[in-house]
Amino acid sequence: MGDYIVEMSHISKSFPGVKALDDVSFRLEAGEVMALLGENGAGKSTLMKVLSGVYTKDEGEIKLFGRTVEDLNPKRAQELGVSIIHQELNLCRHLTVAENIFLGREKVGAGRALKEKEMNREAADILKRLNIEIDPETLVGNLAVSKQQMVEIAKALSTNAKVLIMDEPTSALTASEIDDLFKIIRMLKSQGCGIIYISHRLEELQHIVDKVTIMRDGKYITSMNFKDTTLSEIISNMVGREIKEKFPHVLCNVGKKIFEVRNLNAGHMVRNVNFELREGEIVGIAGLMGAGRTETTRAIFGVDPKESGEILVDGREVTIRRPMDAIRAGIMLAPEDRRKDGLCVKLSVRNNISLPNLDLICNRFGVIDRRKENALTDKAVKDLAIRLASADVNAGTLSGGNQQKVVVAKWLARNSRVVIFDEPTRGIDVAAKVEIYNLMNQLKQQGIGVLFVSSEMPEIMGISDRILVMCDGKITGEFAAKGATQDLILECATKFESKVKQQEAV
């Protein structure tokens, strides 16, 4: 392996009242993929922001390619070859791929006119080098999220980045897209780029990672060769304690049918969906991104209109036209994207939790009873062990795991029959995941039906009692958890109707 291209030693960074980084050292070699791991709030992002020049360090030394660098700022970092791909995509949806790649560095010719052709050609070259099949003249907004991510990578590499920082790059990708991403990472590695890879999805590390660096509470904990360590060692280093069961599974007696969906149709993403849910079981819905799982949950909950179908709770048919109807029928939905659909980030945790429960805490004139509201929210915060200074802080200030708990807490404050979780553990750390699993088990034990959508195969297989697989808006498979394997699930998840055949028939 090559020389160190990044050497950060004894970096400290304080914000008023808190030491975000405390004497952290970090080194990266050329041609190496380094996983930077830690729980939410461990200081990974802060460290990377120091490296990419967003924050200035208080103490310590940064060496890039062997040379000490002072006064790092984002522009300078980019010039030196450090590029960062943030968890949230930072692309202009209304511009083309090429326009995005050259944003801020547009090539201009005589009379300051843009050299569109040249930029398109160069963008095409960059994309080709990465084996990405995207027309540089497509609008970014028309691309799938995964493709947008590729554009983001192409953009980073177009600046001749030698150090590429990826923050949770796979959280929005499907299995096959992740494979594509890994191919690109391997290629970059062979070209001598150093890659810093931040992810909570530990399972995927084995495919690409050479080394791991672990942080906790703003401190450097350890660095190891990936092949010399085990996942459980990594996890215990991250959380500072052993987590015994990654997927705590509780066995319950399966009781009577509590929820049934019959022939549900809603748009082309929900076609003829049938399933049932029984007391004491967790049913997982697996599938690829875009299989229609989220759409199914939204149609059940009355967010999107249904074309046809019946929904039965405890054997009685319920009419659901709006979310309020579903809530009254005892159906709850903790949606997929918590910042987009789950939380009002400008409102307090308290107001967020009470929002769907206002009917319980208002008198008949619609006046909110503060005492009832406080009692309700304090209980929810306590039940879910949400860690916060006060329930009056803005929901947006919490860490990912705690935000997710607030989303769940909103719904558990009232009596429910069916709780639907859509990707409940996306982007949250291991310890918080286990807490969410425990919560789902608790609901199951209380006889509440739990339906849960997830793209993480090990999670689906570890937590569910029964697994449904969706593909192309239809349910294409059903397994008891014991009988399921990743291969079987994946096979069902890719059962696309052959479009070629249809054409032949015509």
Partner 1 sequence: MEKREKQNPWKRLMAIRGMGQVITVAIGLLLLCIVFSMLSSSFYSERNVGNLLRQIAPILIIGIGQAYVLITGNIDLSIGSVVGMSCMISATLMTNGVPTPAALLITLVVCLFVGVLNGVLVAKWKVPPFIATLGTMTVARGVAQIVNNNYNTNAIGDKAQWFRDLFYYGNFLGLYNTIWIALVLFLVFNFLLGKTRTGRHIYAVGSNKEAAKLSGVNTDATTIIVYVVSSLCACVVGLITCAIAGMGTMDSGNMYEMYAVAAAAIGGISTFGGEGLLVGTVVGASIWGVLQNGLQFVGAPVAIRNIVIGIIVIVSVLLDVIIRSNRPRKKLKTESAAVAGDKVH
Instruction: Report yes or no: 158 and 83 within 8 Å, Cβ to Cβ.
Output: no
- Smallest separation, CB 182 to partner 1 (Å): 31
- Smallest separation, CB 390 to partner 1 (Å): 8
- Smallest separation, CB 13 to partner 1 (Å): 10
Question: For residues 24 and 97, which CB has a smaller minimum distance to partner 1 in the complex?
Answer: 24
Question: For residues 45 and 78, which CB has a smaller minimum distance to partner 1 in the complex?
Answer: 45
Cβ density class 434-472: b for 16+ within 10 Å, e for less: bbbbebbbebbeeebbbbbbbbbbebbbbbbbbbbbbbb
- Given CA atoms 342, 345, 347, 350 in this order, what sign does their dihedral have? positive
Task: Give CA–CA dist 481/408, Å, rounded.
Answer: 24
- Smallest separation, CB 311 to partner 1 (Å): 16
DSSP string, 317-334: EE--SSHHHHHHTTEEEE
- Given CA atoms 339, 344, 348, 349 in this order, what sign does their dihedral have? negative
Residues that bind partner 1 (CB under 8 A): 15-18, 20, 39-42, 217-218, 240, 301, 303, 322-324, 326-327, 333, 335, 340-348, 351, 354-356, 358-359, 362, 365-368, 374, 378, 385, 387-389, 392-394, 396-399, 402, 410, 431
- Given CA atoms 341, 472, 285, 198 in this order, what sign does their dihedral have? negative
- Smallest separation, CB 34 to partner 1 (Å): 23
Question: For residues 116 and 337, which CB has a smaller minimum distance to partner 1 in the complex?
Answer: 337
Question: For residues 274 and 374, which CB has a smaller minimum distance to partner 1 in the complex?
Answer: 374
Question: For residues 237 and 354, which CB has a smaller minimum distance to partner 1 in the complex?
Answer: 354
Task: Give CA–CA dist 110/454, Å, rounded.
Answer: 53
Question: For residues 49 and 155, which CB has a smaller minimum distance to partner 1 in the complex?
Answer: 49
Task: Give CA–CA dist 427/272, Å, rounded.
Answer: 31
- Smallest separation, CB 323 to partner 1 (Å): 5
Residue 479 corresponds to which tokens in the numbers above? 């397994």
- Smallest separation, CB 298 to partner 1 (Å): 9
Residue 195 corresponds to which tokens in the numbers above? 């890659």
- If we measure between CA atoms, which residue out of 286, 400, 392 comes closest to residue 337? 400
Provide the terminal-to-terminal Cα distance of the chain, rounded to the nearest Å. 58
Question: For residues 54 and 490, which CB has a smaller minimum distance to partner 1 in the complex?
Answer: 54
